[in-house]
Structure 1
Amino acid sequence: MTSVQPSKAPDTSTSSSQSTLQRTRANLAFLANPATAPGPASRRTRAFLRTTRYTLKFIFWRLVRYAKYAAIGSLTAFVAGTAIGSAVSGVGFILAPTGILGGATVGLLWGVGKIGWRGWRRFARKAKDGASDARRDEKDGAEDDAKVKELVEKGEEGGLRADPW
């Protein structure tokens, strides 16, 4: 009796696994750099890969930010523990005030100083140039107002409106 050997069917598992491997490689290439790699044919897969890419980028940069905070905090603690830290301990309140009232006070002083310094520089520049003439300032202001009014009437200035009265 002769035994009949079953005919071998083509092995589809290797071709499907090979195509799966190729799709996975293409998807990872798209995930790494969507500008250079061809996108997947499926819109759902493409959207998923883009969302994954943006999420991974966000998580990476958030971790970098936290690492930077940790490095700055450890450096600050190191300096504070040395002789320099004990000599300039009052500077810490200005750099990082405690409480809402301290933060508001330092912010107010910073704002007043910044605006005051800017105003002082402008005043000093005008005084140096001799341009602190009140009549000339009024004339320049009136010309600026006329230009704005003209632009508003023409409709070229979208952000400003003429007064209704």
Structure 2
Amino acid sequence: MAMAEPTAVLPPAASNPPFQSTTLQRTRANLSFLVNPSTAPAPASRRTRAFLRTARYTLKFIFWRLVRYAKYAAIGSLTALVAGSAIGSVASGAAFFIAPTGIVGGAAVGLLWGVGKFGWRRLARKAGKGTGDARRDERDDAQGEKIREVQEVQEKREEKGLRSDPW
């Protein structure tokens, strides 16, 4: 019987070059990239990077969707709590405006809200101008607001001088 020559066995440190990392190290790096891609080093594989970014966006979407539903559940439970109390029995007449029933009721309250919001903005704009002069307001209504706005811009330019922008 011939005796076989012994083969040289390399130590584990010599068989793995230093640039290769273990599975645990790669997993940690990938998880840190998943948590915050702007600070963590990106994985070398484009496929891994794309998967991790997609997973990050999907997880963020699911998280915020769950937060939204939890908020809805909390508001619903608070509404049920108030409705079951003495306040709910007193405020039952206002319930239509708080939570209208049906499509027509919702549309009516939405229209009322939109008209109120438009009127409030217009009132705030008039109050912001600081007119306060009834004669001037009547004249503005007769001339139209656009003509008055153009005149005010011209007056401001004459006071401050014409401004030239570099672009």
When normalised by structure 2's length, the TM-score is: 0.68
Mapped to 2, the partners of 1:52 and 1:128 lie a distance apart of 58
Asked whether 1:25 is paired with 2:28, we answer: yes
Partner of 1:70: 73
**1:132–1:29 Cα change, 3 Å:** same
Equivalences for 1:1-165 in 2 at 5 Å? Answer: 9-10=9-10, 19-120=22-123, 128-130=132-134, 131-134=136-139, 137=143, 141=147, 144=150
Opposite residue 37 of structure 1, the aligned amino acid is A
Kept after mapping to 2: 8 A contact 1:26/1:38: yes
**Other structure's SS at 2:105 match:** helix
Return 5+ residue gaps in structure 2 as ranges.
Answer: 154-167
Q: What are the ranges of 5 or more consecutive residues in structure 1 without an aligned counterpart?
A: 148-165
- Provide closer, same or farther for how the CA distance between residues 15 and 115 of structure 1 changes in structure 2, counting only shifts above 3 A: same
Deviation per residue, 1:20-62 (Å, 9 max, x gap): 1111111001001111110001111111111100110110011
User: C-alpha separation between the residues in 1 aligned to 2:107 and 2:5?
Assistant: 90
- Give the length in aligned residue pairs: 144
Please give the root-mean-square deviation of Cα atoms over the aligned residues, in Å.
3.6
SS of the aligned residue for 1:66 comes to helix
How high is the sequence identity, in percent, across the aligned residues?
A: 62
